[in-house]
Amino acid sequence: ESITKPGAEIHDYQPTPQDIVKAQSADLVLWNGMNLESWFERFFAQVKDKPAVVVTEGIEPISIYEGPYKDKPNPHAWMSTKNALIYIENIRQALVKYDPANAEAYNANAKAYADKIVALDQPLRERLAKVPEAQRWLVTSEGAFSYLARDYGFKELYLWAINQDEQGTPKQIRKVIDQVRKHQIPVVFSESTISDKPAKQVAKESKARYGGVLYVDSLSTKDGKVPTYVDLLNVTVSTIVAGFEK
């Protein structure tokens, strides 16, 4: 069970007393680390005698290149299928360690899910390859797509690095407008957990298209667009490709 709710903004989530009770009743708490959950250490200090495991252990981080979080690791490492395999292995090891009686089931489930992620990579690559190479700029509100951009040959441009940062300042907007114009970038995107107004302003003033909402920081409810991680990647990649095709 997730502490952060579907659709919630994970970076500055405000845990409730019920969340503390929920964590206290858990056998194991998993968290991303890499400065994603800025609230987690304060939250977990209120939980007594429960193991916690950082699931990004062993991932090679991409550094944030500007702003107040410059040179900090970009925490959105799950936006790479290669990194997803490391997440799976870290979670498998943690579950086996703290619940060895069910190791066989954890091992089998981890292998099955890893196989699914491996099979997902090539279709994503083929879909993104439809975007002409000269146009492969991924312009977003939050700099949450560094790992996806690296894996699939896109350059990245964003308004702010992570959502703890100030959002949509005149300086941020002017910088991105200038770059969109300079590189003749045709489309600008935003993300599901934040306001789309800054991205739409960039699109309007630079005469680019607004390509819609990408999913990165949260899944949806079961009846929403992205109830699973695989859905999140598929919907996000489809939206990117469609944005360039309009």
Q: Tokens for 8?
A: 């919630």
Q: Please identify, among 92, 124, 156, the residue that sits at the C-terminal boundary of a domain.
A: 124
Kindly state whether residue 11 falls inside one of the protein's structural domains: no
What pLDDT shows up at residue 193?
87
pLDDT at residue 38 is higher than 90:
no
Domain count for the chain, please give it. 2
Of 109, 124, 139, the one marking the end of a domain is: 124
Q: In this structure, what CATH number is given to the domain that contains residue 222?
A: 3.40.50.1980
The answer to whether residue 86 is domain-embedded is yes
Angle at 107 between CA 221 and CA 235, to 5 degrees: 30
Q: Model confidence at 178, in pLDDT bands (50, 70, 90)?
A: very high
Mean pLDDT of 159-169: 83
Task: Decide if 3 is inside a domain.
Answer: no
Q: Supply 32's token pair.
A: 């991303």
Q: Residue 33: CA atoms inside 13 Å, Cβ hemisphere, count?
A: 14
Evaluate if residue 37 carries a pLDDT over 70.
no
pTM score > 0.75 for this model? yes
Where in the sequence is the domain holding 215, given as residue range(s)? Answer: 131-245
SS3 sequence of 122-157:
HHHHHHHCCCCHHHCEEEEEECCCHHHHHHHCCEEE
Does any domain span residue 188?
yes
Do 120 and 136 lie in one domain? The reply is: no
Is 212 contained in some domain?
yes
pLDDT higher than 70, residue 139: yes
Last residue of a domain, one of 74, 102, 124: 124
Residues of the chain with pLDDT > 70: what percent?
96
Q: What is the pLDDT of residues 179-201, one digit of tens each?
A: 999 999 999 999 998 999 999 99
> Which two three-digit tokens encode residue 57?
């252990």
Residues 116 and 201 in one domain: no
Answer yes or no: do 96 and 135 share one domain. Answer: no
For residue 9, is it within any domain? no
Same domain, 160 and 119: no
Overall average pLDDT of the 93-122 stretch: 99
- Please tell me whether residues 106 and 162 are part of one structural domain: no
12-28 pLDDT tens trace: 677 788 888 888 989 99
